[in-house]
Amino acid sequence: MNQASMASSKDQVRLHKIFRFLVSLSCLGILVILIQQFQSHDVIHIVFSEKYGNTLDFVSVRSNEFRVQPFWSQPNRSVFAPDLAKMSWPKDPVAPYPAGRRNSNGEVAQLPPLFEPVMSIAQRKLSKRLLQIFSETMFANGLGDRFMLYGGTLLGSYRHHDFIPWDEDIDVLVDVLIRDKVRELLSGLAPQYNFYQGYSRDKLYGPLIDGAENELDVEKSRPAANWGWPFLDISYFRVNGTHVMEITMSYGRYYVWPYDVVFPLHFRPLGKYWYPAPRDTWLFNRLTYDPGAMCVIPGYSHVKESRGPSGSMPCRDLASKYAFVEHVACKNGTSEQKSDEFGMVLAKERLVQYSNSSIAHIYHSLCLAVPKDRVRTDTFSM
């Protein structure tokens, strides 16, 4: 072998060693990043049981993974979080005809009986879409930790993992300090969506139906007062350091909650998506609504924006008609968990339907973060 060939061979060996070194260095860098990522998420082990997405028990996952961050529209464990869209759900409770239809005299048609679904298929879909587009807009602009589910929508998440079956509006509560920015963002959604700016509350709603669509079930809003229904009702809160207060009255009173009942916000399921909710949703609801085991229709119709039917009945009496959420301990037990700095642990919530006081069907189960003393709460009362 001549000297030139030998030199070339040595150069190739040297280059090969350098290449291997660079590859090893790159792999080491990737490994360090992955270790840091997993340390930050504290994901140790996850056990799936039954069909994927229907039931899962977290052996050791930190509850702080459910804490809401400004830009994260899902729980921070996005790789491991249950995909709500793949879970088993009951059939959507819907009315056979769209609410808000008008007769020949221009009067709104009679609403369904008490505790029957008010929204039709398309009206329910529009309501879900309004909430989703609002949430996506907030998170896309780093405002995801400045709003939460509210009112009947929050109660629906806790009791049904979805809208209350007979509810007919969607509620969110937003930090008043960002109201101008929120109004700017929502106004920019036109012409696909309409935005109404009120004195104390705002509305996001769909395009209005035309006269030929009165009897049709279309994903549009119907004229109601100065806006359209279905709509997303946007209320605002202020913080004074110790408490959180809605800035305007509802049903004749101001609603006030201790700061640590509300913050930091944690994700809860509503249908097939995760949304921000108060840290202690159970106590938040209890301070908002009268404690008890009654399901209540308050006597106001958002369809007509006027007085509507009212009534109450024990929630337990509706358990064979609609699915409710049971709140129990995760498989590994609460006593084995150490709460995080905000007193949160993981608890199981399972969506069940009853028959003659016994469980007839379990749709799905999931574990999520709750205050340690809220692991087991009554399914039908607050």
| Per-residue model confidence (pLDDT) at position 188 | 98
Q: Which residues contact 84 (CB under 8 A, 6 or more apart)?
A: 269, 271, 272, 273, 274
* Residue 352, H or E segment: strand 344-355
Please give the Cα distance from 184 to 178 (Å, whole number): 10
Which one is predicted more confidently, 18 or 83?
83
Residue range 197-252, pLDDT digits in tens: 999 999 999 999 998 999 999 999 999 989 999 999 999 999 998 999 999 988 78
Mean pLDDT of all residues in 365-369 = 93
176 vs 348: CA distance, rounded Å: 33
Average pLDDT over residues 275-280: 98
CA 194 to chain centroid: 22
> Taking a C-beta distance cutoff of 8 angstroms, is the pair 137, 234 a contact?
no
| CA separation for the pair 354, 322 (Å, rounded) | 8
At 186, which helix (H) or strand (E)?
helix 179-187
Mean pLDDT for the chain?
86
The stretch 169-174 carries a mean pLDDT of 98
Band the pLDDT of 35: cuts 50, 70, 90.
very low
- pLDDT tens-place string over residues 23-32: 565 655 544 4
pLDDT tens for 329-365 read: 987 555 567 888 899 999 999 999 998 777 789 999 9
pLDDT of residue 14: 63
Give the per-residue pLDDT at 159. 98
Q: Report the pLDDT averaged over residues 175-194.
A: 98
Closest to 91 (Cα-Cα) out of 322, 275, 316: 322
Q: What is the pLDDT of residue 60?
A: 46
CB 299 within 8 A of CB 309: yes
Phi, psi values for residue 170, rounded to 5°:
-120, 135
Tell me what pLDDT residue 381 has.
Answer: 87
Dihedral over Cα of 73, 79, 81, 85: its sign: positive
208 token code pair? 């209005």
Contact 347, 334 (CB under 8 A): yes
Positions of E strands within 266-337: 266-270, 273-277, 294-301, 306-314, 324-329
- Tens digit of each residue's pLDDT (9 = 90 or more) over 44-60: 233 333 333 354 444 44
Does this model's pTM top 0.75? Answer: yes
pLDDT at 337: 75
Q: Is the pLDDT of residue 80 over 70?
A: no
Virtual torsion, Cα 130, 133, 139, 140, nearest 10 deg = -160
In this structure, the strands spanning 202-205 and 194-197 are antiparallel
Contact 56, 82 (CB under 8 A): yes
What does the pLDDT look like over 94-119, one tens digit per residue?
999 999 999 888 888 999 999 999 99
Tokens of 378: 């009554």
- What does the alpha-carbon distance between residue 77 and residue 81 come to, in Å, rounded to a whole number? 6
